[in-house]
């Protein structure tokens, strides 16, 4: 197999051909080989061509982990068409903004139970809607296959591969645009770091609209390994989830720490469980050592535990630290982020803009994404091209993460803004506040992230409200505007919110109220 690729489309073809007899997607009732997947990819590529779509057109996928959605991602990559995976259960209003920002020319979905919301979405965005099924796929002639192969060769490494939307401080999601070249670097690092082989089977736990899924999809399938897609309903059924992963004989697990902590709390993990697991990695939020030690004690003789770090803007993962006994010599705080991956440079910058041992982490290098899709202002605020002679014309992203540097390793300290990680999701608290302000009779809103202990936190909202609804009814209203993971645990109703001397909402006063 060729080990040097200039775009993901060439890589896709090589992988599908080289591992044709291996299983690519594993479900309890069926398994899809790479050969089967390859046929679906080519037919979907031909469908996109027949519909008149061209390189650079954005394809939106209401992705509920059915085989044709994975195949469509690969077909889009081959033709240089960026894809954006949507949460089919998310409020339609939020999805409308994502389609508008991305300029998607097609909305495809794989689950008939979401037909009503997908129809509403395609109508409002005025783009064609396609329910993915085998009977819509055209046959591909030898001549058409040659045309597809020629189109694949025209895709350069700077082409956008996918767009991943994250929460935004202005109340609107931001679409991170990740290139083919970004992902090519990430795949090769991931395969080496985790020693992935075609015999591995990834527990595809994360939803496909969530950044952590990038690891499963790209590192898994581009290694000739298999994915076992985990249905979303199992994430709230701890014993069924663990049994599912056991029955599918998964060897690789990547999830947010909060899911692992939840499974530990529910005693769904026990020594000797999940015998096929050889790697458990976690990222997207901090894993308190006092909780991590419990997981370590169960799996230490079986699976390697890996703490990973990386913002969406830097292609999923930027560092990986292998957990060992020495991490628990001091039980305070979080484990180290470790050392940055190859292909990353960085600097830690203090409030005065000088390099320091503690400050904001700026990530630099070829794994930094292109920017925020169709949003030049936000891109210019966070992404920069360096001009100093030591890093001349390198791409840089300001993470907003405050870190401490010690002997080359990085330690997470906190955030410099109003962004938090909740259940692994990156949330700008302002987005929830903006949504609350859209509800009639809400005059002020503030959201606090209240850490109840080292492992858990709750979103608490304070609202100045003059209407007739109670707090529970307001939460129902809010659920029509933001995803489930942004819904606060409770709303505190007030006549007006406290202000500090600058005239801004006094968040410290609100935190003090919670502690009373």
Mean pLDDT score across all residues of the chain: 94
pLDDT at residue 516 tops 80 = no
Instruction: State how far Cα 500 lies from the chain centre.
Output: 36
pLDDT tens profile 52-72: 999 999 999 999 999 999 999
> pTM of the predicted model, to two decimals?
0.91
E runs forming strands in 156-295: 160-166, 174-179, 201-204, 226-229, 252-255, 279-282
pLDDT-derived band at 75, boundaries 50, 70, 90 = very high
> Mean pLDDT throughout 14-25?
97
- Tokens 């390994």, residue? 225
Per-residue confidence (pLDDT) for residue 168, from 0 to 100: 81
pLDDT at residue 117 tops 60 = yes
pLDDT at residue 265 tops 60 = yes
What is the percent of the chain with per-residue pLDDT over 90, rounded to a whole number? Answer: 82
The H helix count followed by the E strand count for the chain is 16, 25
More confident residue, 97 or 419: 97
**Hey, what domains does the chain have and what are their CATH numbers?**
1-177 (3.40.50.980), 230-417 (3.40.50.12780), 422-515 (3.30.300.30)
pLDDT-derived band at 40, boundaries 50, 70, 90 = very high
pLDDT-derived band at 374, boundaries 50, 70, 90 = very high
Tokens of 413: 């300290």
- Which residues, in sequence order, are bridge partners of residue 505? 499
From the number of C-beta atoms within 10 Å of its C-beta (0-12, 13-18, 19+), residue 409 rates as middle
pLDDT tens profile 105-114: 999 999 999 9
pLDDT tens profile 448-468: 998 776 667 899 999 999 888
More confident residue, 421 or 282: 282
pLDDT at residue 357 tops 80 = yes
- Which residues, in sequence order, are bridge partners of residue 409? 406
Instruction: State how far Cα 399 lies from the chain centre.
Output: 16
Per-residue confidence (pLDDT) for residue 1, from 0 to 100: 58
pLDDT at residue 85 tops 90 = yes
pLDDT tens profile 175-204: 999 999 999 999 999 999 999 999 999 999
- Give the angle subtended at the CA of 474 by the CAs of 473 and 477, to the nearest 5°: 90
pLDDT-derived band at 290, boundaries 50, 70, 90 = very high
């Amino acid at each position: 197999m060729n080990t040097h690729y200039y775009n993901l489309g060439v890589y896709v073809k090589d992988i599908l051909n080289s591992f044709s007899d291996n299983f690519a997607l594993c479900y309890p009732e069926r398994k899809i080989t790479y050969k089967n997947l390859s046929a679906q990819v080519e037919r979907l590529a031909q469908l996109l061509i027949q519909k008149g779509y061209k390189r650079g057109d954005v394809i939106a996928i209401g992705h509920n982990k059915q085989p044709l959605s994975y195949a469509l991602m690969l077909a889009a990559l081959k033709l240089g068409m960026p894809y954006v995976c949507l949460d089919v259960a998310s409020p339609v209003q939020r999805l409308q903004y994502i389609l508008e920002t991305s300029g998607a020319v097609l909305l495809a979905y794989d689950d008939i139970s979401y037909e009503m919301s997908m129809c509403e979405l395609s109508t409002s965005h005025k783009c064609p809607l396609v329910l993915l099924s085998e009977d819509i796929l055209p046959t591909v002639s030898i001549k058409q296959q040659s045309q597809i192969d020629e189109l694949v060769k025209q895709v350069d490494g700077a082409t956008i591969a996918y767009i991943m939307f994250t929460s935004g401080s202005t109340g609107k999601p931001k679409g991170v645009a990740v290139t083919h070249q970004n992902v090519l670097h990430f795949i090769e690092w991931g395969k080496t770091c985790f020693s992935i082989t075609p015999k591995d089977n990834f527990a595809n736990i994360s939803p496909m609209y969530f950044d952590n899924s990038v690891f499963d999809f790209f590192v898994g399938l581009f290694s000739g390994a298999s994915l076992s897609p985990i249905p979303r309903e199992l994430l709230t059924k701890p014993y069924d989830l663990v049994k599912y992963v056991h029955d599918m004989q998964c060897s690789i697990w990547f999830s947010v720490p909060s899911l692992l902590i939840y499974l530990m709390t529910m005693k769904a993990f026990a020594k000797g469980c999940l015998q096929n697991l050889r790697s458990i990695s976690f990222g997207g939020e901090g894993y308190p050592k006092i909780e991590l030690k419990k997981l370590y004690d169960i799996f230490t003789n079986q699976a390697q535990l890996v703490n990973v770090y990386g913002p969406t803007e830097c292609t999923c993962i930027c560092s990986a630290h292998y957990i060992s006994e020495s991490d628990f010599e001091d039980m305070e705080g979080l484990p180290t982020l470790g050392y940055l991956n190859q292909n990353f440079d960085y600097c830690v910058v203090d409030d005065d803009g000088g390099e320091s041992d503690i400050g904001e982490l700026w990530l630099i290098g070829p794994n930094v994404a292109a920017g925020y899709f169709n949003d030049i202002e936000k891109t210019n605020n966070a992404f920069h091209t360096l001009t100093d002679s030591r890093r001349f014309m390198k791409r840089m992203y300001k993470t907003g993460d405050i870190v401490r540097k010690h002997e080359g390793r990085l330690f997470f300290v906190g955030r410099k803004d109003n962004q938090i990680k909740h259940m692994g999701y990156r949330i700008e608290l302002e987005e929830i506040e903006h949504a609350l302000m859209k509800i009639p009779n809400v005059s002020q809103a503030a959201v606090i992230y209240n850490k109840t202990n080292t492992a858990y936190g709750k979103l608490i909202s304070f609202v100045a409200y003059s209407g007739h609804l109670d707090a529970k009814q307001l939460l129902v209203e809010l659920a029509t505007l933001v995803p489930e993971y942004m819904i606060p645990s409770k709303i505190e109703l007030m006549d007006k919110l406290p202000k500090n001397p600058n005239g801004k909402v006094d968040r410290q006063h609100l935190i003090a109220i919670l502690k009373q």
